[in-house]
Structure 1
Amino acid sequence: MSSTVRISIALFIGYTAYLATAFLLGDRPDEVGDWVRLLIKGFLIVLVAIAVVEWLANRRNAEAIRARVNSRTSSESPAPQPTVSGPPTAG
């Protein structure tokens, strides 16, 4: 699902939830100015929530990619190094 579709769905659900909660808590606008204030406020709150969720998703994806790259580089074994155990002995 594309990012635009996910954001649109989240915007619709979040905005509907915000308006429903506002009405249930008794914030019933009477005048046009009250309606505009309620709509703008809800829109801004939902946009901030979507921005935070997208930021967290991008951060999680970046960490997953970084972990994948690190696991690939650590699985590649370096060339074996010669080991020396103790001083040379005369023969």
Structure 2
Amino acid sequence: MANIKSAQKRIQTSERNRLRNKSYKSAVKTMIKNYLAAVDEYAANPSPEAMATVQTRMSAAFSKIDKAVKRGVIHPNAGARRKSHLARTLKQHETPVAS
């Protein structure tokens, strides 16, 4: 334990920020998990309703990732990488259009 008052305050601040960052990261992971579940459901049974669910959850996941980046919880490149992964996952499960 720190003996200097400013160091003690810094420990408290760091702990508070760590818990807040952990909460944001957990929320991002949950949104991603919900989105991937919706994509799997859409892949198993393609329908307009399933696609609407996928689009809604993708939007929510993108929003949560962007907020985490804005607050400095995750690095901007990491946020871009995660969003790219989500879009790529959907693209792989979409049915190809015959030309």
Of structures 1 and 2, the larger Rg is shown by: 1
The structure that is helix-richer by fraction is 2
* TM-score (norm: length of structure 1): 0.44
* TM-score (norm: length of structure 2): 0.41
